[in-house]
Each structure stands twice: as C-alpha cells, then as structure tokens.
Amino acid sequence: MLKVGSLYGPVQEDLRLVEDTFDQIKSVEEFPMLSKMLGQILGGTGKQLRPAIALLAGKFGDYRTELHVPLAASIELLHTATLVHDDVIDASPSRRGRPTANELFNNSAAVMLGDYMFAHAADLIARTDNTAVVRLFAKTIMKIASGELHQDMSAYDYGQDTMAYFGRIEGKTASLFATSAEGGAMVARCSGGEREALRSYGLNIGMAFQVVDDILDFAGDEDEMGKPIGSDLMQGTLTLPSLLLMERHPKDNPVKKAFRTKKPRSEHVAEAVYMVLNSDILNEVYDVARDFRDRALQALAPLPAGAARTALEDIGEYVLKRRS
C-alpha cells in the first residue's frame, strides 16, 4: 500500500514549509495560554492531503512558493478549525486518538479557538494577494457550514435519500478538496481549462474520501481511527451504508429503531453494523468510492504528464485504500 510520506514527491519540501507556518501560528508570545491551546490542536496535523493537493495543482502553472505555501497552510488551518467546532457540537472527547479542544479546555474556549483559527486562515489566504482566491475561500466556508447545518438539522431523520447524502458530503467534505485544487491552479495562473480539470479532480477525490470514511465507520479499526465503530449512527448521521441497509430492509431495521428515540442504544447500532458487515453493502459502497476516484483521474487527462500528475493519481489510489 502507498504510504502517505511517499505520495507528495515534487511538493514534499514545501509541505515542510507548511508545517513551519503552523509552528509560527502556534507561537503567540503575548498570550501563552493561546499558544498552548494551538500547540495541542495543531500538534497532530494529519496526512496533509488538502494542502498537498493545493501545492501539486500549482505545479501545472506558475508555481510560487511564497504564495502557494500560505494558500496550502490556510486550507489545512480552515479544515482543522471546522473540526474544532464539529467536536464542540458533537461533544466528542477525542479525535484520531487525541483529546479534542473541548475536552482539554471547555466548550467556550474551543469555539473561540476555532474562530481564531478561521481568522488566521483568512489572513493566510489574503497573502496570495488574489481577490478571486479570497472569494473562493469565503464561498467554500459557506458551503462547509451549509453542509454541516444540513447534517445537524437532519440528525436522526431516517427519511433521507442518497441524493441528500451526496449533496451533504459535497458541502461538508468535497468542497474543500475542490477548493484546494482550484485555489492552487488559480494562484499559479493556470488556464480556465486546467483550473476546471483540477477542480473536478479535487471534488471527486473529496467525494471518494468521504465515502471511504463512511465505510471505515463500519469496518475500520477503532485504534487506527481513534473512534468507536458506528460513531456516525450514534450521533444520528445517516451515511451511504446505512441508507442502503434501510433500502434493503425497509420494515425491520435497526437504524429506524435507533433514530426514533433520538437516543440510539448501543445494541441497535451494533445490530446495524452486524447486518451491514454480513452483506455485500460495503462492496457496493466501495464501488461508489471507486467511481468517484475514477472520475477524478479522468479529470486529469487533459493535464500534462509529469511528477505532479503522478502524485495526484497516487493520492487517488491512497484515498481508496486508506485505513484511517
């Protein structure tokens, strides 16, 4: 299996500059407590898929480290800020095996920390000195917030369909992948066709990423993921495996039983997980993820071959096979 560290070849060094940017953000000399909070949250940055995609997209045009690194850092900071707010909403004590901000501090402090990170992300994106990119960034925040609102307001609603699901994950997850790729292309002054190809790549990779995430909620390793199996169902979130389970068992269904009370019992969630695992549902869902990945690779077809395109193709392979 491809390892994350070997994926990003032509931008690996600049990803270290993204990390250096985070180190600077974490250093707030006049407010040591804020420094400590930022250090706790930014100390466990993940696979850096989104910033890597932004940097790789820039390689198809006029790549400028002094502009692309702030862009990439802003995207990862925005992503992390949304997670901080999500954890407050969900009252999550941990994420990926690490304590959340609301667990370490309190809800009020965590919300304000997320706000601070949003503001810092906006400052970073402004350093691109590109009004169109700033507008794209703002619109993406609105899409993410809209996706999260849809998820929150539809919690425990078992009357949803797959179209609503795809619309929700496009907003909450895929939109930032799309912006990563399109933003990198815009800063590099790529042509309209190149920009659209890269945006399509990012959007479809983001969709594949979330669908795989939903598979792992049923079939992943709890230690690797840092969360219990069935977490989405416990929080009232319908994902594609759950939707397919309800389609196949419209009458006697543990998901409906769990959601009717809005306080899912562990035995109902366990039953739903068991039924999904003992069917071909996850194979069908995996086919959906593969289809999104294939669309992403097809979007790259007009772009010139080279190290950047190969890295983007490898990211597509990694997204399908990741385990956390």
Q: Give the model's pLDDT for residue 68.
A: 98
Instruction: Count CA atoms closer than 13 A to 196's CA, side-chain side.
Output: 4
DSSP at 6: G
The structure tokens 């366990």 sit at 270
pTM above 0.85, yes or no: yes
Q: How many residues does the chain have?
A: 324
User: What is the model's pLDDT at position 297?
Assistant: 98
Average pLDDT over residues 39-51: 84
Please indicate whether residue 100 or residue 301 has the higher confidence score (pLDDT).
301
Find the mean pLDDT for residues 193-219: 97
How far is Cα 187 from Cα 181, in angstroms, rounded to an integer? 10
Q: Tokens standing for 24?
A: 């600077």
Domains and CATH numbers, the chain: 12-317 (1.10.600.10)
pLDDT for residue 3: 54
Round to whole Å and give the CA distance between 59 and 81: 27
pLDDT tens figures, 240-277? 999 999 999 988 789 988 888 767 678 889 999 999 99
Q: What is the mean pLDDT of the chain?
A: 92
**What integer is the mean pLDDT of 193-209?**
98
Residue percentage of the chain with pLDDT more than 70: 97
* Residue entry with tokens 């019992």: 265
Question: Does 66 score more than 60 pLDDT?
Answer: yes
pLDDT at 214 exceeding the cut of 50: yes
Instruction: Tell me which of 73-87, 189-203, 277-291 is least confident.
Output: 73-87
Section 161-186 average pLDDT: 96
Q: Name residues whose C-beta falls within 8 Å of residue 50's C-beta, 6 or more positions apart in sequence.
A: 72, 75, 76, 79, 176, 177, 180
**Per-residue pLDDT averaged across 20-30, rounded?**
92
Q: Does the pLDDT at position 206 exceed 90? A: yes
- For residue 1, the model assigns a pLDDT of 44
Burial track 194-224 (b if 16+ CB lie within 10 A, e otherwise): bbebbbbbbbbbbbbbbbbbbbbbbebeeee
